Amino acid sequence: MFGIGTSEILIILLIALIILGPKEIPKIARTLGRTMREFQRATDELKHTIDSEIEIDEEVTNKKPQENTVEEKKIADS
């Protein structure tokens, strides 16, 4: 996890406990959890949007050659 070992995490948590106090830690943890959840939702939505745009682009790209052949046939028949 970000190149941080278990001992470093424990030291960070101990310092946070000393600075913030035991009453504030749960509030901060909840806020951090909500923030991470919102970030994950936004990331998932962005991925979904990009995938949708790629699919639409592929459909348009695949339809163009077919439409061109129909138009070319009309021109050739004239």
Q: Where are the domains of the chain?
A: 6-77
pLDDT number for residue 59 = 85
pLDDT tens column, 6-20: 899 899 889 988 998
Residue 72's pLDDT is: 58
Its pTM stands at: 0.54
Alpha-helical (H) ranges within the chain are: 6-20, 24-77
Q: How far is CA 66 from CA 12, 19, 38, 54, 77, in A?
A: 62, 68, 43, 19, 17
Q: What is the pLDDT of residues 26-68, one digit of tens each?
A: 898 899 999 999 999 999 999 999 999 999 888 888 875 555 5
Contact 33, 25 (CB under 8 A): no
What per-residue confidence (pLDDT) applies to 13? 87
